[in-house]
């Protein structure tokens, strides 16, 4: 007669559902809004469950960092895959994907800022290090396919990543100062300059 007051879930599914709820709250309300109660409400469970599955709110946010970072990775990989086979096109696609949805997005920006604001905690800093290293590794592989000398790849990847991050940041913080199209032009221009330089020095 009475319908169940709650239902049990597979531990992994429940964890995943809490992580996704955290991502939504972070995107909507930023770091200050991501309380245990708000997350539990968003996930449709009771506040006590957070403590049951994660090492406090910090542990949950750290795992959410990894999950959202992985989603960005997937979005970038999709952009590369859609670019075809030409190595130059693939690098350009990887770089400029950051200036269009779903990556250039105020909600994702709020999420990212929340992660950065917790970077004083070692567990969050470790997540960041691993994630950004994987981004640079991806970029280095794409650069290698373009024939960029191995000796140049590391620093070029650092520079490209920094430029893209900086443009993405300002694009989210002050849209109106420049357009996503201009960001794209600037990023592609810098890519060309590195290829030209390496072609020149290898001659």
List of residues contacting a copy of itself (CB under 8 A)? 30-32, 110, 113-114, 116-117, 119-120, 125, 128-129, 132-133, 155, 158-159, 161-167, 169-170, 173-174, 177-178, 182, 185-186, 189-190, 193, 197
Contact criterion met (CB below 8 Å) for 164 and 95:
yes
DSSP assignment, residue 97?
A: G
Look at residues 60, 58, 56, 69 and name the one whose alpha carbon lies nearest to residue 21.
60
Dihedral of alpha carbons 21, 23, 27, 31, sign: positive
Q: What is the dihedral of CA 107, 138, 119, 177, to 10 degrees?
A: -40
Residue 117 binds: one of a copy of itself, DNA, none (C-beta under 5 to 8 A by kind): a copy of itself
| 12-41: contacts with DNA (CB under 7 A) | 14, 33-38
Among 19, 26, 49, 183, binds DNA (CB under 7 A): 49
**According to the binding rule CB under 7 A, does residue 58 interact with DNA?**
yes
53 vs 116, beta carbon nearer a copy of itself: 116
In whole angstroms, give the CA distance from residue 137 to residue 129. Answer: 12
**According to the binding rule CB under 7 A, does residue 118 interact with DNA?**
no
Interface ranges with DNA (CB under 7 A):
2, 4-9, 11, 14, 33-38, 44-53, 56-58
């Amino acid at each position: 007669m009475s319908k169940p007051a709650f239902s049990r879930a597979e531990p992994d599914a429940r964890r995943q559902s809490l992580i996704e709820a955290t991502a939504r709250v972070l995107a909507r309300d930023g770091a200050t809004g991501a309380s245990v109660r708000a997350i539990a409400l968003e996930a449709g469970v009771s506040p006590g469950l957070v403590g049951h599955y994660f090492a406090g709110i910090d542990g949950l946010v750290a795992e959410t960092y990894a999950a959202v970072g992985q989603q960005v990775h997937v979005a970038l990989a999709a952009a590369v895959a859609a670019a075809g086979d030409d190595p130059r096109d693939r690098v350009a696609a990887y770089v400029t994907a950051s200036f269009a949805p779903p990556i250039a997005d105020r909600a994702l920006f709020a999420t990212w800022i929340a992660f950065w604001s917790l970077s004083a905690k070692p567990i969050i800093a470790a997540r960041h290090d691993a994630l950004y290293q994987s981004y640079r590794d991806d970029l280095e592989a794409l650069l290698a396919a373009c024939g960029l000398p191995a000796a140049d790849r590391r620093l070029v990847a650092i520079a490209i990543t920094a430029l893209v991050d900086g443009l993405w940041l300002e694009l989210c913080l002050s849209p109106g100062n420049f357009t996503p199209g201009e960001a794209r032009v600037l990023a592609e221009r810098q890519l060309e300059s590195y290829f030209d330089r390496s072609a020149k020095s290898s001659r």
